């Protein structure tokens, strides 16, 4: 399970080292894709396959389903974990998401979000002001 927030430095070859806290459940085969905001999402391959199965069961006649497919599947790439526990970030994604010297890795249970430091600061302010009423969502265990 991926939980917590960590900072990872980007080296000159656009590689980041995954912190030890994010290593155990990951495995070597990963999928990197666009996120829903200005970020990336890193999935263990088995989690991505389960997501793909759900996406494939949705109605492709719905334009929103096709957009979701294009975002998550069309922009996905394999990200193999190196012997140094590093993954390569595509140059286009580094540029598009304004990743400079470091990125913020945010554990989301079954996947990891990758944010620029600046964009994560903006997102954190949204999260801190987030409120929800109990009738909007059932959080009972």
Q: Give me the residue spans of the domains in the chain.
A: 5-128
Instruction: Please report the pLDDT score of residue 138 as a whole number.
Output: 72
- Please report, in angstroms and rounded to a whole number, the separation of the first and last CA atoms in the chain: 18
Look at the domain 5-128 and name its fold: Chemotaxis protein chec (3.40.1550)
pTM of the model as a whole: 0.89
Taken in order 118, 126, 69, 28, is the CA torsion positive or negative?
positive
The model's pLDDT over 14-60, given as tens digits with 9 standing for 90+, comes to 999 998 888 766 667 899 999 999 999 999 999 999 999 999 999 99
Is a pLDDT exceeding 90 seen at residue 106?
Answer: yes
pLDDT of 9 > 90? The answer is: yes
Contacts of 127 (CB under 8 A, 6+ apart): none
């Amino acid at each position: 399970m991926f939980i917590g927030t960590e900072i990872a430095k980007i080296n000159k070859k656009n590689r980041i080292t995954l912190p030890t806290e994010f290593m155990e459940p990951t495995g070597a085969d990963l999928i990197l894709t666009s996120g829903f905001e200005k970020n990336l999402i890193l999935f263990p391959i088995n989690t991505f396959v389960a997501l793909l199965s759900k996406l494939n069961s949705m109605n492709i006649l719905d334009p929103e389903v096709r957009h979701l497919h294009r975002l998550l599947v069309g922009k996905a790439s394999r990200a193999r974990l190196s012997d140094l526990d590093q993954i390569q970030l595509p140059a286009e994604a580094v540029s598009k998401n304004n990743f400079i010297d470091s990125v913020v890795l945010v554990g989301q249970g079954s996947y990891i979000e990758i944010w620029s430091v600046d964009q994560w600061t903006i997102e954190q302010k949204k999260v801190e002001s987030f409120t929800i009423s109990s009738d909007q969502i059932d959080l009972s265990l």
